[in-house]
Structure formats: C-alpha cells, structure tokens
Amino acid sequence: MIDLNVRLDAYDEPHQHFRGAGLVSPADLAVLNASAPDETLFERIEKSSPDARRRYRSSVLPLLDDEKEITPDPALLAPSWQRLAADLLSADFADWIRRETGVDTTDLGRTSAIFRHYDGDYQDLNTGKLHKRMHVELHINDNWPSDGGGEWEFWAGPDRSAGPRDTMLPFGGTTLLYSASKKSWHQMAPVSPGRGLVRLWVSFSFFDLAEQ
C-alpha cells in the first residue's frame, strides 16, 4: 500500500528532517478513511498542566510496541489497515528509510500507533524523545483544508518569540521523518475546532532499547 518509490526531500533548517508526498494513493486513502478504527477504540489522553514535560491532547490506538510485546491486533483493524501495518513492519520499509535518510534501523526497537486529533487537539512545543533514532509520521486524512489547523511547526528552539521557522500541513499521503535531538523542536498546532475535522495519522518510531 505504501509507495516505496517515493523520494524524500531533505531539510537542514531549523533542524534536519525529511518530507515526502504520495506515499499512499488517493484511492487507498479513501479506503483507509472509510474503514478507520472506531473512535471508541482510542484512548483519550491529555497532559496540560504547566509543569508537564510535554503538553498535548489527543486520542491514541497503539499498534505495536516491541518492549511491551504489543503487536497489531487484526480484530481491531480492517483489511486495509492490516495491509498498511504490514507495510510499515516490512523489511522493504526499513530499507526505504535507510536509503532515503541514511539511518539504519536494524536491531532497533519499534513502536507504532494510530492518532486522532480533533476539535482543538494539539501537541505542544518539544524535541521528541531523544532515544528515538527515527520517527515517521504518515498522514492518512484525505481532503484536509488549508485552514484546518493541525500543521506541523518546525521551531529553532524553545523561545516562542520568533514563531515557527516553517510549517507542514497534514495532507493525506504526506510523511515526515526526523531523528530526535536537542535541536528537533516542533509542535502540532491545534486542529481547528467546531468543524468536524479529524487529523488521522500513523506514528512509527525506531528507538534504542538500551536508552529507554
């Protein structure tokens, strides 16, 4: 289902990351959206206190966690989502990441989850967990409006006075990849409230088990 012929664009500012489009075809996006897991399967999570290390509000459905021995549950996933999960877990996908980013994910731990953000949901400014050797965000929602919010914002640091250096809207089939570092500051802007929009995406991360 994932088109591994897609080439990624590399960015060095404000920190190194990679972006690509067309990983999932419009036809497959339509099927994935029509067969998305029911919202009742997602856990609603929120951390918004001022002293929280990382503030966010979202809904999450774990797919995979090597450390916790969680594997994709076919009972929760429609056939289209099972195919997507299989593609993400494939050796071909790992080879594509290495080819496009130079990061070898061999022998690294893996986590993956489906996220739903809607009605003001957000992720506040952070660097990401520093043990992540590669983080992949694949956007599934189709027909995302340019004024729908939910854009990924790239920041030069924790100082908010200058605003984000760049933004990326979550158009369906687009992807973002980065290795977490002390410079990888980013946040997800709130999804525009009151419009019935759902920012649907799959997170896939490779991490060093020894640094957990």
- Inside any domain, residue 44: no
Mean pLDDT of the chain: 94
- Inside any domain, residue 145: yes
Closest by alpha carbon to 84, among 35, 42, 19?
35
* Model confidence pLDDT, tens digit, residues 67-110: 899 999 999 999 999 999 999 999 999 999 999 999 999 999 99
- Inside any domain, residue 174: yes
Count CB-CB contacts under 10 A for residue 13.
10
CA pseudo-torsion sign 186, 103, 7, 172: negative
Say which CATH number the domain at 87 has.
Answer: 2.60.120.620
Residue 191 has pLDDT above 70, yes or no: yes
Confidence of residue 171 (pLDDT cuts 50, 70, 90): very high
- Inside any domain, residue 3: no
What pLDDT score does 22 carry?
Answer: 97
- Inside any domain, residue 50: no
- Inside any domain, residue 79: yes
Count CB-CB contacts under 10 A for residue 162.
9
Containing structural domain, residue 93: 13-37+71-211
Residue 50 has pLDDT above 90, yes or no: no
- Inside any domain, residue 112: yes
- Inside any domain, residue 84: yes
The proportion of the chain whose per-residue pLDDT surpasses 70, expressed as a percent, equals: 97
Q: What 3-state class would DSSP assign to 94?
A: helix
Mean pLDDT of 108-119: 96
Q: How many domains does the chain have?
A: 1
Distances in Å between the Cα of 63 and the Cα atoms of 73, 85, 109, 186, 210 are 7, 8, 14, 24, 22
Residue 52 has pLDDT above 70, yes or no: no
Confidence of residue 208 (pLDDT cuts 50, 70, 90): confident
CA pair distance 80, 36, nearest whole angstrom: 9
